[in-house]
Structure 1
Amino acid sequence: MKLFNCTHCAQLVYFENDFCERCAYPLGLNVEQQQIVALERHDEQLFTQYGQADGATYTYCANHAYHACNWLVPTASNQPFCRACVLNHTIPKLSVPEHITRWQALEKGKHRLVFSLLQLGLPIISKTENPETGLAFDFLADPKNPEAEKVMTGHDNGLITINIKEADDVAREMARKNMDEVYRTVLGHFRHEVGHYYWDRLVADSPTLLDECRQLFGDDRADYGEALKHHYAEGPPINWRQHFISAYATTHPWEDWAETWAHYLHIIDTLQTASAFSLRVRPQASSIADNLTAAITDDPTKPKTSRTSCSNGCPFH
């Protein structure tokens, strides 16, 4: 995740901050600008952006009241929720104390996902706007009856379901180790499941892209249910590391696509973090160190018309 600066005093601030520790100005994320901005308060709920001359007013997203969101909503939109929270279809019962903390953790991951999608210029349409092709999230808890069917994390025609126990660090870590899933994180779940959604939106109805996708990932017409049974019964092929991004990617072409999509977003965020902290690659134990020196300063989400590189073609300058 990139770093931000308070637009009032230039203090370093982070993606989830809603208050500047130096100047005490309220902070919020302006979705259109994709920036954390300082705010001037006009009443309990109404704000203007510091230094903005047009006088446009904003409120916090309604979920700010639960410390689950710091995104801004233009008052002219007459919307209570921001671009990320409007995607919620179901949230946990907040009368249960542990549900609140788990929901907050899920919202943190979901907001980071949506911010990445916005940076990449991908379409984000809620099921409220378009019930057929929109995106929505269900955050559900397992039923109290131990004999009842558990909530399964997954994707179904734009509806992404996340079991809120994934926000419990202990439970998730146990599952991560038991299933040997290195990238089993809250954000990792969101990245993977939204990959299925964008396969439906970007690939499925495009004959050209579908053909290219099948050449890369395999034939998605293979029986998905049988593929899952085989994977959980037999495990991945011995040589899977030579051909797939993860063991789970071997299950079916859809899962190969979703795992690759998730890992691509992971790489982008890693490069963005490296850039934000001005990391450099400067190996010292090699006679060709000068050829390997690189500065990771590019925004990985933006296409480049030109770029400089190391003498060996490294693209990170």
Structure 2
Amino acid sequence: MFEWYKGMVDEATGRLLYSYDPETGLATGDGEPIRDIAAVWDVEVLSAFLGRNDLRALIRRSLAHLDQRVVPRDGYAIVAPGGESSSIAHSAFLSLALACSDLPDKVQRLTPLTDGILRQQRKDGSYKIFFDAVPDSGEELYPAEAMLALLEAHRLTDDACYLESVERGFAHYKRDYYDPGVLDSDAMIFFANWQSQAGRPLFEATSKPEVKDLVRAFLFELHDRVIESGFYGHVARRPERQACVEVACGLEGLADAYAIAVSTQDRRTADYRRCITTALGFLVRAQRTAGCTDRERGGFGGSLASREQRIDVTGHVASGFIKSVENGITEPTEAGSGPAA
């Protein structure tokens, strides 16, 4: 997978390509700004996990390019992506990329961005998504991505305002967004993923028992609902019908919920582990390793049949694999071999 990222470096820009279609040979440079920024963070996380610095130049070049998009405002900063409204998601992923970088001034560079996210929080705990006068959208993803960035800022600065913001925000998106049924059921996997990616570090950082209880109960409720829907059973029995990005996002979030289940000795541990191995089995099968182009090798298409690749799909898979290994789960269940929970 790491070699795939090396092959996705655009020779013209020195930055990552957004997509590649092996059947036509067409490669696309800048794609969707949020995903382009997030991919830098993905590379940093994978590089750190593997202990490799082969892509350090790519990371530095990408961060320098993104720095040109940062627009200072009165006491904070935003990312001007070009072609779309600036949102807390743009700020979040650049903050996460900076937090994982080896830049000596990374804290000074990321705190104006995370301070901008803080300014977007409303009295009810929700976050205004866009910095301009644009109606909210993307609530199933962007607030949790922003909360994860705030928790990274808290880790680096120990500033309590970041943690307090996330404590309020997490409670809002449980009680005033999820509980009333605002969430589109088609977005459940992706919502559960990002709530879990923000929820696990919140669970670890907060000293408030009521917040820990809320996080644990909410994440378990989300993943229990996904499991009860038959999602992982479908992955096991009908792998040819699954989208790689959906399975990868399911794996990412479930791996974080599993870590909390293990730490609290919860009864769900065995079921969660079984579903994780099912997702791993599908994704191991989906990885392109033979009968493919050199650039395609090691990456992931849209499905078992679709070969077109995007950087965000492989990024989600990499994250899910890393979290699984860190949880001590390395043996996948072969896709199509039988039922899962």
**Under a length normalisation based on structure 1, what TM-score does the superposition of the two structures give?**
0.28
> Could you say which structure has the larger radius of gyration?
1
Which structure's residues are more often helix, by fraction?
2
